[in-house]
């Protein structure tokens, strides 16, 4: 593990191996499960580093991130091969052409935001000498990475890690046990960039694995600044409870079924094309995206039946790719079994495919609205895999009822007629759906998350822990890892550069007496 | 109580009376303790109103708030007299000349922010058609008001209430049982303004009192948008736990001891003047301010001893004003007893004053650093009243140790020499103190909160529930009551006005492709 700048042996309480999902066999490398003492060492080093980082120039942080991104690209072969071995995600296009460039790109964006400094929303009331900004938390951020994006959401190289550092916080990465080798590579690359940028060695630390109970203690420790978790709901809720009780911020992205409404005009106009959209989105990454469309609401009329048949044909082909682990297969099985117990029917698939490796048939389920409405929670449990549930509603009124029974989601989409045929229904559904989803789409499936400033990857509980934040989109994602702090009558020479009269870059945006400005304050 | 636009009798589970703190006798009016069924009625009406408000023009919300502020001023006599009767806070200058104008002023500020719309931080990525903003939560906000500001933090007319409404949310006000009559007046005034502005009648609802268990259910109810609480830590922590478990946002402001450091150069230079500052700040409102300086750290040398003596003389005079209730007296007694049990000495005061009314002698305690450091939590329990603890440190090193033992605070102040004599010590203390306080002051006591855009009234736990928010300062305080929501490929005519190509006011600030701008988007 990487503690305080050096690689050292864990005081392990056990060991583990990653598994090759394409064979189901453990890989040869053996990794330690750290003791809580290891975690405490990381915390102590991280606590000290947080003081040093608070005093580091933003340009040094930006230099580190730019260098880190460049080295990722230089070492793409090794990263991509290791990630492929540990996750069985395809080398091309997925890992090499999509995920790695995205990972490097978001790291450069984080660098640019750190350099630009506008992210901290400096707010100055000139006459009263009161000035405030968001600034680093004052303790390390603990990042728990998910299984499904070994690069872009990696605990030691993904979006949470780079936005936490861009906001000025050291990171303690807790590797996902599905891809420890990939995480180690990221940590090695990051470690190699720190000295050159002049940042403290404990800016990036990495632990391979922890006993879950120790994870709960970690997110509640007085020395941490915050925690970020991307992954399944049961683990996420436990971490949330521990952090909440200690009054520590924790940001969770726990996935969701991401409902898609197909309005009748769109169905008549282009039902088959939408079915193709659905299958493409649903089977992306073997259905292991947090924004996979897992629930489709449509009218049970002739056009709807045509759509069901078109979708059935598309799903009725051998699955592409592997599931990430035994747990994913079991989760999918359990979710399907529960839905079946509540009168969902399997139209196609529904079965694990005999080995080698973790594979599951593409699965299309269907349920009638009245059965859906009897136990809506059962039908909204997110499960990874190329599986989706079609909810057949008899009429527009029931479509509204289904939308009212939805919980919090990362994303939700509405397909409507290219002209205005569906506009009345859209106006009925939208106000109900809007507060339930972090991102509302029109005529587009929810997978494929652009890393741009207006992106929101978050939403109401239980999709996320708090509806006011996003884990994707820079600079907004950085605000998670910052505290709002005020300087009241603090002497000019003691103010942080961002809050002094002179604009520190000449280009930083600041809210001065209520107006956004790049100007210096003139006296 | 005020439910869905009408005053009606509660289905009460009990009754209560407010107490006149100047006599200790109950006032004549009898108020109901509502049943949970009453709360559910308010929730259902609030849920519907939240849909209507989401569609209301921001100008209507602003009109309501401006009218509300104007009517507060028109009915100042009644508000001030009622508040005086229920809290015994002085009519002048406190209630009439300070608190009421501040309350009206912050309401006008909230109106201006709603009208201006820039608060929602509209973020537009033009090329990709992805646009996001903060918008109303989609459910009513439950506001629990504190005892100490019957006007400015009133559940039905104070800062939380007006910022929640300015962000587009209906409010369910839970009156503080110390001033039900004042809260009813605000609710009546607000109710009278709703129709004129064209807002739904359930935009403002008010319940006098609830069983604490019902309060816990209320903040965890699926229909609410969020809750805001200002008050004591025990009640706040229980509400936080209930809301956290349900995944509902809750914002808490739970007060704190607000440490003041007097560096040796400042002490030599102007110790007596600082003692006068301390007494004035500490005795403001009979010491019942969340930002009261409750802990003063100074060097135990000759100048320090002079300060202690000066402070002793100032505190050794009859107390001004009354404490707000029996609970405040008991809380102060208990806090002093605990500190005494840990070797703090009472220099002056420390006793309740015989009736009529709730009065307590001005109290100055002193403790040596080594005793403070043995049980720092005991000495940091906030207690209302004109009481403060002087922590005597033998040297600069121990001053640093005391600063490291501090918990989260709303505010913290450092007094230093007018020249540069204390600069080295400031540079040592500041990085330790800074992450522990929401607002850092120089040469100024923490009471007297300016309602300006850069103000932060918040801080790390346990002073507040989350370090990223403020309950004072507009527009920042509005962000608490908003969700971050994205529109991805949503058709132009379906976008909210704030996210369309055309700037809806011509003056609203928006972040367009990374630059703050007031321009329309040109195609």
DSSP B120: G
What are the tens digits of pLDDT across the range B230-259? 999 999 999 999 999 999 999 999 989 999
d(CA A303, CA A312): 14
Which of B130, B437, B454 is closest, CB to CB, to A124? Answer: B454
Shortest CA distance from A112: residue in chain B: B514
Q: How far away is chain B from the Cα of A205, in angstroms, using its nearest Cα?
A: 22
Which of B469, B489, B514 is closest, CB to CB, to A441? Answer: B489
Q: Please give the pLDDT value at position A231.
A: 96
Which of B125, B134, B245 is closest, CB to CB, to A454? Answer: B125
Contact yes or no for B231/B45 (Cβ under 8 A):
no
- What's the first-to-final CA gap in chain B, in angstroms? 53
pLDDT over 90 at B302, yes or no: yes
- A409 strand-pairing partners: A437
Q: How far is CA A467 from the centre of its chain?
A: 14
Residue B436's pLDDT band, with cuts at 50, 70 and 90, is very high
Tally A–B CB contacts below 8 A: 207
Determine, for residues B476 and A137 on separate chains, whether the beta-carbon distance falls below 8 Å: no
pLDDT over 80 at B523, yes or no: no
Which of B408, B441, B456 is closest, CB to CB, to A132? Answer: B456
Q: Please give the pLDDT value at position B103.
A: 98
Percent of chain B with pLDDT over 70: 100
d(CA A35, CA B35): 50
Q: How far away is chain B from the Cα of A435, in angstroms, using its nearest Cα?
A: 6
DSSP B143: E
Q: For A338-481, where are the E strands, in sequence order?
A: 345-348, 352-353, 359-360, 363-368, 387-393, 409-415, 437-442
Q: How far away is chain B from the Cα of A249, in angstroms, using its nearest Cα?
A: 6
Q: Please give the pLDDT value at position A28.
A: 97
Max Cα–Cα distance, chain B, nearest Å: 76
Q: How high does pLDDT run on average in chain B?
A: 97
**Residue A5, both tokens:** 């700048």
| A484: nearest Cα among A499, A473, A470 | A499
- A124 strand-pairing partners: A131, A512
d(CA B130, CA A246): 36
Other CB atoms within a 10 A radius of the CB of residue B377 amount to 10
d(CA B347, CA A38): 47
Q: Please give the pLDDT value at position B448.
A: 86
Determine, for residues A483 and B490 on separate chains, whether the beta-carbon distance falls below 8 Å: no
Determine, for residues B461 and A426 on separate chains, whether the beta-carbon distance falls below 8 Å: no
What are the tens digits of pLDDT across the range A156-204? 999 999 999 999 999 999 999 999 999 999 999 999 999 999 999 999 9
Q: Please give the pLDDT value at position A492.
A: 97
What are the tens digits of pLDDT across the range A203-255? 999 999 999 999 999 999 999 999 999 999 999 999 999 999 999 999 999 98
Q: Which chain A positions have a beta carbon within 8 Å of B462's beta carbon? A: 247
| A175: nearest Cα among A39, A313, A329 | A39
Element (H, E) at B401: helix B396-404
Q: Please give the pLDDT value at position B169.
A: 98
Q: Cβ-count burial of B28 within 10 angstroms (0-12 exposed, 13-18 middle, 19+ buried)?
A: exposed
Shortest CA distance from A499: residue in chain B: B454
Q: Which of A127, A247, A503 best tests the B interface by mutation, with the highest count of B CBs <10 A? A: A247
Q: Please give the pLDDT value at position A176.
A: 98
Determine, for residues B439 and A470 on separate chains, whether the beta-carbon distance falls below 8 Å: no
Q: Which of B127, B237, B247, B411 best tests the A interface by mutation, with the highest count of A CBs <10 A? A: B247
d(CA A173, CA A140): 10
Q: Which chain A positions have a beta carbon within 8 Å of B490's beta carbon? A: 440-442
Burial B244-273 (b: 16+ CB within 10 A, else e): bbbbbbbbbbbbbbbbbbbbbbbbbbbbee
Percent of chain B with pLDDT over 90: 98
Q: Please give the pLDDT value at position B444.
A: 97
| A347: nearest Cα among A367, A331, A333, A369 | A367
Q: Is A253 a catalytic residue?
A: yes
Q: Which of B266, B435, B457, B521 best tests the A interface by mutation, with the highest count of A CBs <10 A? A: B435
Residue B382's pLDDT band, with cuts at 50, 70 and 90, is confident
d(CA B97, CA B151): 12
Q: Which of A52, A465, A486 best tests the B interface by mutation, with the highest count of B CBs <10 A? A: A486
Contact yes or no for B183/B155 (Cβ under 8 A):
yes
Q: CB under 8 Å to B62, separation ≥6 — which residues?
A: B111, B112, B114, B115, B166
d(CA A400, CA A388): 20
Q: How far away is chain B from the Cα of A113, in angstroms, using its nearest Cα?
A: 10
Determine, for residues B431 and A515 on separate chains, whether the beta-carbon distance falls below 8 Å: no
Q: Which chain A positions have a beta carbon within 8 Å of B460's beta carbon? A: 138, 247, 483
Annotated active-site residue in A135, A253, A269, A382: A253
Which of A134, A434, A454 is closest, CB to CB, to B131? Answer: A454
Residue with tokens 């709703």: B194
Which of A51, A479, A514 is closest, CB to CB, to B431? Answer: A51
Contact yes or no for A434/A443 (Cβ under 8 A):
no
Q: How far away is chain B from the Cα of A235, in angstroms, using its nearest Cα?
A: 14
**Residue B24, both tokens:** 């200790």
Q: Which chain A positions have a beta carbon within 8 Å of B482's beta carbon? A: 468
CA atoms within 13 A on the CB side of B24: 11
Q: How far away is chain A from the Cα of B450, in angstroms, using its nearest Cα?
A: 8
Residues of chain A whose pLDDT is less than 50? none
Burial B400-428 (b: 16+ CB within 10 A, else e): bbbbebbbbbbbbbbbbbeeebbbebbeb
Q: Is A404 a catalytic residue?
A: no
Annotated active-site residue in A86, A290, A382, A398: A290
Q: How far away is chain B from the Cα of A191, in angstroms, using its nearest Cα?
A: 26
Shortest CA distance from A423: residue in chain B: B494
Residue B368's pLDDT band, with cuts at 50, 70 and 90, is very high
Classified as helix, coil or strand, A157 is coil
Residues of B designated catalytic: 253, 290
Q: Which chain B positions have a beta carbon within 8 Å of A439's beta carbon? A: 485-488
Determine, for residues A490 and B441 on separate chains, whether the beta-carbon distance falls below 8 Å: yes
Determine, for residues B467 and A455 on separate chains, whether the beta-carbon distance falls below 8 Å: no
d(CA A211, CA A197): 34
Determine, for residues B439 and A138 on separate chains, whether the beta-carbon distance falls below 8 Å: no
Determine, for residues A438 and B485 on separate chains, whether the beta-carbon distance falls below 8 Å: yes
Which of A131, A454, A480 is closest, CB to CB, to B130? Answer: A454
Which of A246, A436, A468 is closest, CB to CB, to B482? Answer: A468
Which has more confidence, B522 or B133?
B133
Which of B440, B443, B488 is closest, CB to CB, to A486? Answer: B440
CA atoms within 13 A on the CB side of A248: 26
Shortest CA distance from A436: residue in chain B: B138
Residue A426 phi/psi, 5° resolution? -55, -45
**Residue B468, both tokens:** 């990223």
Max Cα–Cα distance, chain A, nearest Å: 76
Determine, for residues B431 and A486 on separate chains, whether the beta-carbon distance falls below 8 Å: no
d(CA A297, CA A267): 11
d(CA A160, CA A478): 8
Shortest CA distance from B490: residue in chain A: A442
Determine, for residues B123 and A440 on separate chains, whether the beta-carbon distance falls below 8 Å: no
d(CA A19, CA A29): 10
Classified as helix, coil or strand, A280 is helix
Contact yes or no for A173/A179 (Cβ under 8 A):
no
Shortest CA distance from B123: residue in chain A: A454
Q: Which chain B positions have a beta carbon within 8 Å of A431's beta carbon? A: 51, 54-55
Residue with tokens 């100024």: B444
Determine, for residues B441 and A489 on separate chains, whether the beta-carbon distance falls below 8 Å: yes
d(CA A34, CA A172): 13
């Amino acid at each position: 593990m990487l503690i305080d700048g050096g690689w050292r042996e864990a005081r392990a309480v056990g060991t583990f191996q990653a598994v090759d999902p394409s064979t189901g066999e453990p890989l040869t490398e053996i990794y330690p499960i750290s003791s809580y003492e290891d975690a405490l060492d990381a915390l102590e080093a991280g606590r000290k580093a947080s003081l040093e980082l608070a005093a580091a120039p933003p340009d040094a942080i930006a230099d580190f991130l730019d260098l880190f991104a460049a080295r990722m690209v230089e070492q793409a072969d090794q990263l991509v091969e290791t990630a492929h071995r540990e996750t069985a995600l395809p080398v091309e296009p997925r890992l090499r052409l999509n995920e790695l460039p995205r990972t490097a790109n978001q790291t450069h964006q984080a660098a640019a935001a750190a350099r630009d400094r506008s992210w901290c929303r400096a707010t100055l009331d000139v006459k009263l000498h009161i000035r405030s900004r968001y600034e680093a938390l004052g303790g390390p951020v603990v990042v728990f990475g998910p299984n499904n994006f070994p690069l872009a959401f990696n605990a030691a190289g993904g979006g949470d890690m780079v936005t936490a550092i861009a906001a000025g916080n050291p990171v303690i990465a807790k590797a996902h046990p599905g891809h420890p080798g990939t995480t180690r590579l990221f940590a090695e690359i990051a470690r190699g960039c720190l000295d050159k940028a002049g940042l403290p060695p404990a800016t990036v630390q990495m632990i391979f694995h922890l006993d879950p109970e120790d994870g709960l203690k970690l997110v509640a420790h007085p020395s941490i600044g915050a925690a970020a978790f991307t992954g399944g709901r049961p683990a996420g809720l436990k971490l949330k409870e521990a952090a909440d009780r200690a009054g520590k911020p924790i940001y969770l992205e726990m996935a969701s079924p991401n409902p898609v409404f197909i309005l009748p005009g769109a169905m008549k106009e282009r039902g088959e094309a939408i079915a193709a959209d659905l299958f493409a989105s649903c089977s992306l990454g073997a259905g292991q995206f947090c924004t996979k469309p897992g629930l489709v609401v449509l009218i049970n009329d002739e056009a709807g039946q045509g759509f069901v048949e078109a979708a059935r044909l598309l799903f009725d082909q051998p699955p592409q790719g592997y599931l990430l682990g035994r747990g994913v297969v079991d989760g999918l099985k359990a979710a399907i079994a529960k839905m079946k117990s509540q009168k969902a029917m399997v139209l196609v698939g529904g079965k694990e495919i005999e080995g080698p490796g973790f594979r599951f048939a593409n699965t299309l389920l269907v349920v009638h609205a009245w059965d859906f409405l009897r136990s809506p929670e059962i039908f909204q449990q997110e499960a990874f895999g190329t599986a989706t549930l079609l909810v057949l509603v008899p009429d527009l009124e029931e479509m509204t009822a289904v939308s009212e029974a939805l919980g919090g989601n990362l994303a939700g989409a509405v397909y409507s007629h290219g002209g205005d045929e569906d506009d009345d229904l859209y106006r009925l559904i939208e106000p109900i759906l809007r507060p339930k989803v972090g991102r509302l789409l029109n005529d587009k499936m929810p997978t494929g998350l652009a890393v741009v400033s207006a992106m929101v990857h978050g939403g109401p509980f239980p999709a996320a822990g708090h509806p006011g934040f996003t884990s994707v989109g820079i600079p907004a994602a950085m605000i998670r890892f910052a505290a709002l702090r005020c300087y009241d009558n603090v002497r000019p020479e003691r103010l942080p550069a961002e809050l002094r009269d002179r604009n520190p870059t000449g280009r930083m945006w600041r809210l001065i007496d209520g107006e956004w400005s790049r100007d210096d304050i003139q006296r």
